[in-house]
Amino acid sequence: MRAITALIVCGVLLGMAPLSAESADSATRALTPFVMLDVGTEKDSVSPVNNEYFNKHITVGVKTAGKWEYSLKLGTSDKDASTYKLVSNVIEGKIKKSFEVRKGIYPYISARFAEKTYSSKTKPYTSSFTYYSVDVGSKFSLSDSIGLDIGFRFRDSDKYSYQSDRYHAMLLFDINESNTIGIRYSQSSSDNLEEDRESVRLHWQHNF
């Protein structure tokens, strides 16, 4: 866990380091740090699995010139099952690149690497594994303050049955230049029925 965490942090920092060959002043002006808080609920979408999940995350990152984004996410998820309650914690690093093909249309691609740890609230149990994912999608400006984000995510793991395909649609509302709230619906499919889920997530992002 410590090794994976160190690699994720180092990767994010190394990606941020060579931003440009310009002066430190120019580089600083090109950076936009941000923080995002999100909460969400998930439920298994295929019977007879009927688990529910409550997720909470905080993400800190920076946007750079050229529409690059580097971030680190920490979070936890509570699972209510019929036999026991399971808690998972995650640390996830992400690199994202956005493009502007025309005004109001911004496709993107991102890669994420993470370490996830499971533990039980009611019996001795701990397990951890590494996973990775690739996201592709696009953001569309519907007006000066409203946006739509649609996308697809592929995810898999080094050892755990964690492979899934997920589609999402998200409405974004700019409160002002620094604050955005969003609500997302997503549907994932997997051979592992416990990863076959429907999810609703609410988030708030502040750009400094």
Distance CA 55, CA 94 (A): 18
Report pLDDT for 27. Answer: 52
H, E, C per residue of 88-118: EEEEEEEEEEECCCECCEEEEEEEEEEEEEE
Q: Where are the beta strands (DSSP E) in the chain?
A: 32-44, 52-64, 68-80, 85-98, 105-120, 126-141, 146-157, 164-174, 179-189, 197-207
Tokens of residue 146, six digits: 């409203």
Structure tokens at 112: 């994420």
Give me the DSSP letters along 190-205: -SSGGG-EEEEEEEEE
Tell me what pLDDT residue 86 has: 85
CA distance 117 to 155: 16
- Residue 206's nearest CA partner among 61, 64, 34, 33 is 34
CB 134 within 8 A of CB 119: no
82-94 exposure pattern, b = at least 16 Cβ within 10 A, e = fewer = eeeebebebbbbb
**What one-character DSSP code corresponds to residue 172?**
E
Report whether the peptide linkage leading into residue 33 is cis, meaning its omega lies within 30 degrees of zero: no
Closest alpha carbon to 55 in 76, 36, 35, 37:
76
Distances (CA, A) of 121 to 1, 52, 97, 190, 191: 20, 15, 39, 26, 26
Residue 29: its pLDDT value, please?
Answer: 63
Tens of pLDDT along the chain (208 residues) come to 444 444 444 444 444 444 444 444 555 568 999 999 999 999 988 767 778 899 999 999 999 989 999 999 999 999 875 556 789 999 999 999 999 999 999 999 999 999 999 998 777 888 899 999 999 999 999 999 999 999 999 999 987 788 999 999 999 999 999 999 999 999 999 988 888 999 999 999 999 9
Of 138, 207, 124, 133, which is closest to residue 164 (Cα–Cα)?
Answer: 133
